[in-house]
Structures are given as C-alpha cells and as structure tokens.
Amino acid sequence: MIRTFSTHKIRPQVELNNLWQFTVDGREPFPVAVPSCWETYPGFGSYRGNALYSREIRAGGNIRLVFEGVSHTADVFIDGEKIAHHYNAFTAFDAVYPAAEDKNHLLEVRVSNAFSEDSALHIPNDYYSYGGISRPVSLEIVPDVFIEWVHLTPVFREVSWDLEVEVSLRNISETNHIAGAEVSLEVGSHVFDPTEVPAKSVKTLRATIHCDNAVPYFPETPTLYYVTATLSLDGGPVCDDLIDRVGFREIKISGTEILYNGQPIQIRGFCRHEDHPLFGCALPMSAMDQDLNFFRDLNANAVRTSHYPNDPLFLDLCDEKGFMVWEENHARGLSEEHMRNPNFEKQCEDCIAEMIRDHMNHPSIIIWGILNECASETEYGRSCYARQLAQIKALDPSRPTSFASCKHFKDICLDLVDIVSFNIYPLWYHDAPVKEYLDELYAWIQETEGRGKPFLITEIGAGGIYGMRNANMDKWTEEYQAYALSQQIEGVLSKEGCSGIFIWQFCDVRVSREWFARRPRSMNNKGVVDEYRRPKLAYQTVKDLYAKFRKE
C-alpha cells in the first residue's frame, strides 16, 4: 500500500510490493517481501554492506519506477542498464526508462547501508540505519510529458479561503517538443492556458483559486479535500492525472504563540522513530496505525518525525486522524567535523528538496525542522543552518521553521528560526531540578535573538528498561522513569511562554552497534513503551498528565 487513497485514475500504476529475489555477494538468491529490511531476514540481523534485489516486470512505453524509500543508497538497473542513483533512506525518487519495448524486463536494485565518507548523514548513531527496499515501490506508464507534482497552499483571506496552486510538468523525451500542454484542476474548475514544454525540461504552472465555502481543517475535525489535476497534450484527449489532498488551515506565529487557524495551540507530543523489531524501519500500515492509536490513548496530539522525513503513508494517517507533525530533514548529532564532510551540504539540500516536494500537501505537518543537535554553536555550523533554513523558506514559506538544539547557553542560530526549540534532560543526564533548569534556559533565550519567539521542548525524558523494577528508584528502572517524566512534564507544560513538549520518546529503538557502551541492550530505552509496544509504568504517568494539561 503506497497511500491511503488512489493518486491516479488515468495513469496506469501497478504496485510492486510483493516478492523479489534477494542476494548478497553472489550467493544463492531467495525470495523476500518488498518493502522490508534485510535485518529481519534470518542470518542478516546485523549485516552492513551491499545487496541486490531483483525481479521481472512486464511493461512497455515510458516506464517510471517510483521508490518511496531505499535504505540508504540505491542504484537502479533495467536489463543491465543503470537508470538511477539515489542517496538517503527517507525520501522518494523515481527512475525513468523511456520508450521501452513491451516485454519482460529485468529490474535490479543494488542497495547499500554501508557507512563511508560518501555518506554524510547515515553514520553510526543513536538509531539504526537499516538496509533494504524499506518503503513501497510502484511502476507507472507515463506520456512524454506528465504531471510530476501538484502543490496546494491554502491562504485565508479575512472571510474565505484561496488555494495557491503549483503544477510541475516534466518532459522526459529527448526530442519531443510539446507546444500545447493543457492542465485542468477539478478545484474551482480551473484551466491553465496551454503551455510549451520543451524536450528534457520541467515547466511549473501557478494559479490562485478562490474556494468558496471551504471548511477549515482542525485536528479535532480533520476535513480533507481531494484535488485532481488532468493533462492533455496538443489538443488531444486527457492522457495523465494526479490526485492529492488539501486541508484548509494556516500556521502563523504571533509573539510567543503558535497559531493554528488563528487559535493558539499547545503541543503534547512524542518523538517517534520508524523502528520495530519485526519490521525494522519498514513498518506496515497496521503497525503505524497502532502507534497512532497509542498516541490518542496517551492524550497526545502531535508527533515529531525524529530524525528524518517519514513514510507518506504515516503522514496520510496523521492527516486523517488529526495529529500535528513536526517533520525534519535527516541529520542527528553531527559535529562541525561531520558537517565539513564534502557531501554534507548536497545531501542535506537534496533531502530538504525531496521532503518538501513530496510532503508539502500534508496538512498535518505544521513545522519544518532541520539538523537535530548539530553544531549550532559554531560559525561554520551557523552558515549551514542559515543555508538550509533559507532553502526551506524558498520552497515553502507557509510553515514556520525550527531546529532542536542541545547547545544550551551557547547556541548562535536562534535568530534564524521562527520557533526556538531545545532538547533538555534534567533528572537524567544531570540532576538539576526541572523548573530551575528550564527557568534558567528560558531567561538566557530572552537575552538572545531568540527572545519573544515561541518556545518548545523538543526532547525530554529518561531511560527505563521494560521489566526492571525496584523500590530504590534506581536509574533505568520503570519507577524512576515514571518519576522523572512526571517532574519533567509538570515543569514544561506549566512554564509560561512554552508552547508544548515532545517527549523522548514513544518506543524503545535499536541503535548502531558503535553506541552499545552508552545504551543497554544496544537500544535507546527512553520509550514509554518498549520496542514491542508493551507499556512501561511511565505510560500511565504521561497519559494522566497529558489529560491534566489538555486545553480544549
């Protein structure tokens, strides 16, 4: 399953989510389900390196293969010819093979999850870099010119809504020059003037459409509208389409408040990794939905996609269930030395561009974030933060920006963002009382360029190993975790000027082997549920406190 709804009625599309052949180093191949992670295959639980996925496809014409995620480097071949290369596990890419003969073709994907200097973002870290075709794959047959994406930005005009629309047309032909590409939008019955799309080019169309009687989207009433774009070429019949959804809502900043359709919000959230012992990072929809059902039971209203763009299927569920989302590009805990990797800027920029290209229309996403706990205290780091935040604003000025900092009392990038966000761990990594430490940090922020802005705590928590219980309140016990979280939540949500909290974290997750000395069980054990989603004592603590601070 790619999305929770069909994105095409005209364009032929076939899901390739079934059995593929998998092999490593020329060994005997065996069939595996795609999407999946090879760490879930017997004998490959800790394998790091290269592998090959293959299968036959029957198709002809302009073949477009869409990969929602391959972890973390992919090279795609058809009949031995390389047609695409992509880096980063957490963003989608396509591979186009034009004018293919209608027959059986051999599709091969060479995948790597290896750590190397070529990879600036996938490094040994406090989460696990899995290997495999970890998100869905689809095969499409497209005309020479097709609709690549549609972006939908709602804008409130005093008493009614407008919809700012951008449509990207892509010509994949080497020679076919299209003089008259005509796009029609179902919303507002808008028809763009015919446009020229030269060979091997991309053309973006723009329009503003007035939407009478649009019902606003709120988390409590998540009203979604489907928008269909259709395409005809040079006066011919409709030959392509693309369907997406929009929710009419605006996110604005007013002083220290985050406004959702003009109303201040309080965030009660969790940080969540895409991780499960049965599935790796390739969670099926039922497992995603189970996590969100736990969120609802915990009285949470938001999720932070730490530390990378999430599967669009998960975002669809957030859209439909009314959860607010902080989504961020892929980088965690990188020092200035890491950020000076010659591939760092390009790989971050590609991740941002692909994240916003594909996730722009999700109304659940209210904040774009970057560079969790990276070198925001250095001048070089500041230059990286400035470039990436400027890139986001150029691609999508409709959402506020932020980053989660751990550079307490020394961050020099707070002027660059709309929302100031910090990760703090009082009662865990240090013994300072929560209120005292938070007051001191907030007072310091008011002396910086972050003064007067909304303030979020984007990580806070304590470790607790499932089943480790004693009456001594020792660290790593469930009892101490529940106590620490009770103090932390009370301190944060009662803090004047604070717009909310994202607890670290929802579930225990696997970490890189290189982190084993700092993480019992080679896991980050700060979840309020364990990796199998078994609740710890802290679960009820969080549930009760989130209910207490809930603002209707």
Domain boundaries, the chain: 13-141, 145-246, 266-548
Which residue from 382, 350, 383, 356 is spatially nearest to 369, judged by alpha carbons? 356
Q: What pLDDT sits at residue 98?
A: 97
CATH assignment of 13-141, among 3.40.50.720, 3.40.50.1970, 3.40.50.2300, 2.60.120.260: 2.60.120.260
Residue 252 and residue 259 in contact, taking contact as beta carbons nearer than 8 Å: yes
Q: What is the DSSP string of 332-400?
A: BS--HHHHTSTTHHHHHHHHHHHHHHHHTT-TTEEEEE--BT-STTSHHHHHHHHHHHHHHHHH-TTS-
pLDDT tens digit sequence for 24-60: 998 999 999 999 999 999 999 999 999 999 999 999 9
Query: Which class does domain 145-246 fall in?
Result: mainly beta
Q: What pLDDT sits at residue 518?
A: 79
Fold of 266-548: TIM Barrel (3.20.20)
Angle of the 344-359 helix axis to the 379-395 helix axis, nearest 10: 30
Q: What pLDDT sits at residue 189?
A: 87
Q: What pLDDT sits at residue 514?
A: 86
For the chain, which ranges sit under pLDDT 50?
Answer: 552
Q: What pLDDT sits at residue 180?
A: 95
pLDDT tens digit sequence for 146-204: 999 999 999 999 899 999 999 999 999 999 999 999 999 998 889 999 999 999 999 99
- Global pTM reads 0.97
Q: What pLDDT sits at residue 188?
A: 81
Q: How many CB atoms lie within 10 A of CB 137?
A: 25
